[in-house]
Copies of this chain bind each other. A is one copy, B any other.
């Protein structure tokens, strides 16, 4: 039975990958959990625990081999390959994501675009012709899409997700501010940008320096 890896641990793997890429660029041969921890504001123990659930990659007294560990993490995260991604909804956010280089860098290739707006259908975005959303099921299948990014208004998101699921896609990244229903075998993640601003707002209101003085 596979050990269940926690969500936070997976997210930290992304951080480790990013940090290792930097250390690699600076020609580090090895890096210790301590150095990595300092770089990503984590504890050395946590990094060792995280990594140890996938194997023993380090050398005692020396640390981890930068290049090798980076590749190993890429393989664990599945970003050592190319993913076929489609994006639905060519609005503000959608357009930005098509050109977002970080996605490409990590192997996420947006190769299909969909919209329901006649003015957008047929237009060219970064070399991709926008398809009519009416044909989404067929085209997702034809293009063998593995991941779909939803950047449509909340009101229409559920209908689109139902189609996407019906087309056999098993992974969805949702930017619409709504809680979508998907079957158990489909992985759905939400990207809610307001949420982080609200987190800031909460902290400004509740924990600003002035308030501390009043505490018991």
- Give residues in A with beta carbon < 8 Å to B: 1-2, 5, 7, 10-11, 13-15, 17-19, 39-41, 76-79, 83, 85, 92-93, 95-97, 99-100, 102-103, 105-108, 146-147, 170-173, 177-179, 185, 187, 189-209, 211, 215-216
Within 8 Å CB of A194, what residues of B? 14, 102-103, 105-106, 108
| Cα of A71 to Cα of B81 in the assembled complex, Å | 47
The contact of A93 among B96, B147, B204, by CB within 8 Å, is B96
Do A189 and B198 form a contact, CB below 8 Å, given A96-B93, A206-B2? no
Within 8 Å CB of A92, what residues of B? 95-97, 99-100
Q: Is the CB of A193 within 8 A of B195?
A: no
Q: How far is the CB of A67 from chain B (nearest CB, A)?
A: 19
Within 8 Å CB of A189, what residues of B? 196, 199-200
Q: Is the CB of A103 within 8 A of B191?
A: no
A selection of 26 A-B contacts at a CB cut-off of 8 Å is A2-B206, A10-B199, A13-B202, A18-B177, A18-B178, A19-B179, A39-B179, A40-B179, A41-B179, A78-B198, A78-B201, A78-B202, A79-B201, A92-B99, A92-B100, A93-B96, A97-B193, A100-B193, A102-B193, A105-B194, A106-B197, A170-B204, A171-B200, A173-B197, A187-B203, A189-B199
| Cα of A199 to Cα of B194 in the assembled complex, Å | 20
Other than the given A14-B195, A189-B200, 18 more pairs (CB < 8 A) read A1-B216, A2-B207, A13-B202, A17-B198, A18-B178, A40-B179, A41-B179, A77-B201, A78-B198, A83-B201, A92-B99, A102-B194, A103-B197, A108-B194, A170-B208, A171-B204, A173-B197, A187-B204
